[in-house]
């Protein structure tokens, strides 16, 4: 049976300082009130905004870092079915290749902090970030992965639809790169 819910499209932008610490935002508004997350937001679909344009806009609006689409690497596309029981989401995850030099000032959305990657797991973060987003970042931030999560099931079923090897890996099979990962895998690492 198909669950009819609104469909939302968003971006998350993973930004680092020059020492490799991640910039996170402690959200001052729902749905992630009081929780640390990467920067991001919803696409302005009424004006036809692309995920890349949204990532550029959100990065400027939230932390004041002026970037261009060439400063972004799309490393994941995640489709979430019935996330939180109230919407389906399509999320585009970007790694910003341009480092940020200083901690941005607080904004209406919350305030910022820099964190070493190993410290992030001990912060108040969404459980799905802990179980899915950060492991995906750790493993695939220099390549591309497409996956889907079905939250109508308990536990959620995670399926990897595609993984593009990093330039370092290049799994050549029969003279071509093998870009597909076995389906129905729940192992993120």
Name the residue among 14, 106, 16, 18 with its Cα closest to residue 55. 14
CA dist., res. 3 & res. 63, Å (int): 36
* Centroid of chain to Cα 115: 17
> Across the chain, where does the E strand assignment appear?
7-16, 22-27, 36-37, 39-42, 72-83, 87-96, 110-115, 144-150, 157-164, 172-173, 176-177
Query: Using one digit for the tens of pLDDT, what is the confidence trace for 148-175?
Result: 999 999 898 999 999 998 777 655 333 3
Query: Using one digit for the tens of pLDDT, what is the confidence trace for 131-148?
Result: 999 999 999 999 999 999
Its sign, for the CA torsion 130, 158, 163, 169, is positive
**Beta-carbon contacts of residue 149 (< 8 Å; ≥ 6 apart):** 78, 79, 80, 81, 83, 128, 132, 156, 157, 158, 159
CA dist., res. 156 & res. 188, Å (int): 13
CA dist., res. 63 & res. 77, Å (int): 23
Residue reference for tokens 């993973």: 14
Residue 99 burial (10 A CB sphere; 0-12, 13-18, 19+): middle
The CATH topology of domain 7-177 is: Nucleoside Triphosphate Pyrophosphohydrolase (3.90.79)
Q: Which two tokens stand for residue 83?
A: 């996330």
Residue reference for tokens 């690497």: 73
Q: What is the pLDDT along the chain (189 residues), one digit of tens a residue?
A: 568 999 999 999 999 999 999 999 999 998 889 999 999 999 999 999 999 999 999 999 999 999 999 999 999 999 999 988 889 999 999 999 999 999 999 999 999 999 999 999 999 999 889 999 999 999 999 999 999 999 999 898 999 999 998 777 655 333 333 333 333 334 333
Dihedral in degrees, nearest 10, Cα atoms 154, 160, 133, 172: 160
- Answer for the pair 100, 63: CB distance below 8 angstroms, yes or no: yes
Question: How many alpha carbons fall within 13 Å on the CB side of residue 68?
Answer: 1
Could you tell me the residue ranges of all domains in the chain? 7-177
């Amino acid at each position: 049976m198909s669950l009819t819910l609104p469909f939302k499209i968003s971006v998350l932008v993973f930004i680092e300082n020059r020492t490799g610490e991640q910039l996170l935002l402690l959200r001052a508004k729902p749905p992630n009130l009081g929780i640390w997350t990467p920067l991001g937001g919803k696409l302005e679909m009424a004006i036809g905004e692309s995920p890349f344009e949204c990532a550029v806009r959100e990065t400027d609006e939230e932390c004041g870092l002026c970037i261009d689409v060439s400063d972004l690497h799309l490393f994941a596309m995640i489709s979430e079915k019935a996330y939180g029981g109230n919407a389906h989401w399509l999320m585009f995850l970007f790694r910003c290749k341009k480092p940020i030099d200083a901690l941005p000032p607080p904004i209406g959305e919350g305030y910022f902090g820099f964190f070493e990657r190993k410290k992030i797991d001990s912060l108040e973060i969404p459980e799905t970030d802990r179980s899915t987003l950060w492991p995906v970042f750790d493993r695939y931030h220099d390549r591309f992965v497409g996956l889907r999560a079905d939250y109508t099931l308990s536990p959620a079923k995670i399926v990897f639809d595609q993984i593009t090897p990093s330039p370092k890996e290049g799994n050549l099979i029969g003279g071509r790169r093998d870009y597909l990962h076995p389906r129905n895998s729940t192992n993120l690492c």
